[in-house]
Amino acid sequence: DGAKALVANTGDQTISVIDVAAGSVTKTIPVQGQLGAMAIAPDGRRAYAANASFGGTLLVIDTATDIVLTETLISDASYVYGLAASPDGTRLHAAIDSAIVIVDATTNLPVD
């Protein structure tokens, strides 16, 4: 809804939750590893962050509570260059090296 933004702080191993209207950080979510790309589900209920330090893992964040729900391995690649949610929110597309990994947004696992 545009009320808040989530920002990956690669060097700090955190995600900042920002109140857009106030322009201030309201929460800092600690994570392990080096974060890269982020995406938000179209309905705004989930945020996704790519973690390069542990292979191609995907963190799933509940945006109502700003808590990391899960971290799932989506590729053996060492870096996810970009993330995008499908318009209907059922899939997540991760750009990894020279390939695209499609992830089921319900299970958070790659689609075969």
pLDDT confidence band for 45 (50 / 70 / 90) = very high
Cα 101 versus chain centre, distance: 14
pLDDT given at position 77: 66
Sign of the CA dihedral 87, 89, 94, 98?
negative
CA distance 77 to 64: 30
DSSP structural state of residue 53: B
Residue 32 clears pLDDT 90, i.e. is over it: no
- pLDDT (tens digit per residue) in 84-101: 999 999 999 998 877 889
Helix/strand/coil for 68: strand
Please give the average per-residue pLDDT across 49-57, as a whole number: 77
Partners of residue 5 on adjacent β-strands? 18
Token pair in block for residue 2: 């545009």
Rg of the chain's alpha carbons, rounded to an integer? 13
What's the mean pLDDT in 62-89? 88
Cβ distance 1 to 35 under 8 Å? no
Q: Are 55 and 76 in contact (CB under 8 A)?
A: yes
